[in-house]
Structure 1
């Protein structure tokens, strides 16, 4: 593949699909051959606007087009079916986060990719922020010390117009969860990337503001413990107004503290506090006027350059035979935390990571919903 063009397809023609299209467009030697959507008219319109040769309505049709790779941009619970179909056809996959809405499904996806010998990458583009990578390097080279305490804060706004624009949003069967599964999982991924393997979660969650609009949680709080002995808290909501972005605070056993803030949402994460010895800096993130809420399409546009880096890494991994930056196995880690939060919320008890392999919310779905997931 290193000497030939890479032929790719995109599954799902919703909002984030254009980020994948634009990212592939920037890479020399990549041909975007086809798009796929269960709504064939939408697939055809997406393809026509971008001069993509083929538009189809099923993954089975898509993988027959001699593709090397596909991007999966469909609702979370559909990821397993798409990835396993691609694996059977020996087509590599770059999947949007979360890898799935259910740990058991994600584990099957990883196993299918491994058995087929294909590459499975997952998009967690916020890892590409320079400030996040700077902290990762400081941990790796010992300058920061051992992370022992952290806080992940997600104060976002998603209103009725966001959920109304796509009726599947905010449902257990099609979204797989609320703020934790769809928004905060980015920040939970960063949390575990810095602190290591999580071992236990205690949590509470509820729907406080969007009752009657969504089925899933709009607000959650959790305590996460890690194998290293580190502890972290997570607070997340999509009911903040205005949207105040996200903040990740990490403190080490040397007393160094770093605060990384994404404000406004989609903007580059700012090193608000950096107290690694000899590198002290303080840059308040909310010193100016509050930013108005922006549509999700604008947030996605702000994240495009990170998608470009993620997609470029995936293509380079295919060409060189190495693993992508975020593998399926790596993407499982944040999903395990989220699923443990849901289990703890329902039982009121601490939950060991890995103790619950099936999203407990799915157990409450009616027969028709279960059939849809199958």
Structure 2
């Protein structure tokens, strides 16, 4: 290369530093600017990291002639940033969830496709070696066709977490609760292993933080897959202490394996590997339950996998290839969560809207329960 790719980061909240550190570890790129609606915060973020420029708007960041923008803004603003960047010919790496409505996400993917730019979405847990080991065991037939799965998300958040930002805990601005903000990572893994979901049946509740948030802090769902397989999802932010998260898959040959994250933010491990001739297991709680991990520490622990996904995205831009998690791929977990919320609202099974031809006018925002 004759020059480095120029990187901009939109939004200077908690996760932005992970993006900065990840780009800093990749050759052939340089973070040249950041932006935030709070210009003072952008200026402080830039000064602390020796980033040359800080702006108070996405337009100001795009004016720096950047090649890639990382979108680290609150969920409902993702569409505006992505579309604006695409129209300026800038490649986009967006934090999860891609959006809070499937229609919004479709507009984002369409804008990127029309502009001929890459759109990737952060699901860094796919880059755990353990997560890829399980995917490989499905692909090479050692597990067989997945027939039964489970996804358990038993995490801890407190009142201070929900009160730390005005957009947290509302349907309009957060898009949902434990499923949308935390659980989407593990639902993404579940569908990556088991395939397309064709039906969801669910119940959601707000039981722990009922005086503080609108969105769910408890959820239970059953999912049916196009293959005929079924799976369950259980999720809460009310566990104290946090018990981490686990995705388990059983195959048609009787073999099974699971990937678990405990404590939250730790690298995932294959805690159960029940495959003939390879059987192994790990006791996640052999050193006790421990204590709840601060959000900043969780983000820091995930840094190595942010680095891997950022490096993958940079490579996709340089080599004109597809990133590991495209906008279309990220839409799948969003569609599943949308179906879960709609099923809970209607009290009956709901089909996810995977196909763009299934989109109808006036589709509800994900999580809307009016």
Q: What corresponds to 1:102 in structure 2?
A: 101
C-alpha separation in 2, matches of 1:3 and 1:229: 51
C-alpha separation in 2, matches of 1:361 and 1:277: 42
CA-to-partner distance for each residue in 1:176-221, whole Å, 9 max, x for gaps? 1100100000000000000011100000001001011111111101
Per-residue deviation at 1:3? 4.2
**8 A contact 1:102–1:358 mirrored in 2:** yes
| TM-score normalised to structure 2 length | 0.96
Q: What number of residue pairs does the alignment pair up?
A: 363
**8 A contact 2:102–2:366 mirrored in 1:** no
DSSP-derived class of the 1:351 partner: coil
Q: What corresponds to 1:367 in structure 2?
A: none
Q: What corresponds to 1:11 in structure 2?
A: 10
Q: What corresponds to 2:44 in structure 1?
A: 45
**8 A contact 1:203–1:222 mirrored in 2:** yes
DSSP-derived class of the 1:202 partner: strand
DSSP-derived class of the 1:175 partner: coil
| TM-score normalised to structure 1 length | 0.95
Say if 2:232 is the partner of 1:233: yes
Q: What corresponds to 2:188 in structure 1?
A: 189
Q: What corresponds to 1:299 in structure 2?
A: 298
C-alpha separation in 1, matches of 2:311 and 2:236: 32
Q: What corresponds to 1:369 in structure 2?
A: none
C-alpha separation in 1, matches of 2:45 and 2:174: 23
C-alpha separation in 2, matches of 1:259 and 1:27: 31
Measured on the aligned residues, the alpha-carbon RMSD in Å equals 1.2
CA-to-partner distance for each residue in 1:6-25, whole Å, 9 max, x for gaps? 00100000000000000000
What is the aligned counterpart of 1:358 among 347, 354, 364?
Answer: 364
C-alpha separation in 2, matches of 1:185 and 1:93: 20
**8 A contact 2:345–2:369 mirrored in 1:** no
C-alpha separation in 2, matches of 1:66 and 1:125: 27
**Mean CA deviation greater in 147-156 or 56-65:** 56-65
Q: What corresponds to 1:60 in structure 2?
A: 59
Q: What corresponds to 1:180 in structure 2?
A: 179
CA-to-partner distance for each residue in 1:153-184, whole Å, 9 max, x for gaps? 00000000111222221112221110010000
Per-residue deviation at 1:308? 0.4
DSSP-derived class of the 2:173 partner: helix
C-alpha separation in 2, matches of 1:169 and 1:296: 14
Q: What corresponds to 2:219 in structure 1?
A: 220
**Structure 1 stretches of 5 or more lacking a match?**
365-374
**8 A contact 1:6–1:30 mirrored in 2:** yes
**8 A contact 1:10–1:73 mirrored in 2:** yes
**8 A contact 1:273–1:283 mirrored in 2:** yes
Change beyond 3 A, Cα 1:223–1:333 = same
C-alpha separation in 2, matches of 1:268 and 1:56: 34
C-alpha separation in 1, matches of 2:9 and 2:366: 30
Q: What corresponds to 1:371 in structure 2?
A: none
DSSP-derived class of the 1:172 partner: coil
**8 A contact 1:170–1:177 mirrored in 2:** yes
DSSP-derived class of the 2:47 partner: helix
CA-to-partner distance for each residue in 1:54-99, whole Å, 9 max, x for gaps? 1111111111111101000011111000000001100000000010
Say if 2:127 is the partner of 1:128: yes
Q: Runs of 4 or more off by more than 4 Å in structure 1?
A: none
Q: What corresponds to 2:282 in structure 1?
A: 283
CA-to-partner distance for each residue in 1:311-360, whole Å, 9 max, x for gaps? 00000111111000100000000000000011001000100111674325
**8 A contact 2:86–2:117 mirrored in 1:** yes
**8 A contact 1:270–1:285 mirrored in 2:** no
CA-to-partner distance for each residue in 1:239-269, whole Å, 9 max, x for gaps? 0000110011110000001122110001111
Q: What corresponds to 1:368 in structure 2?
A: none
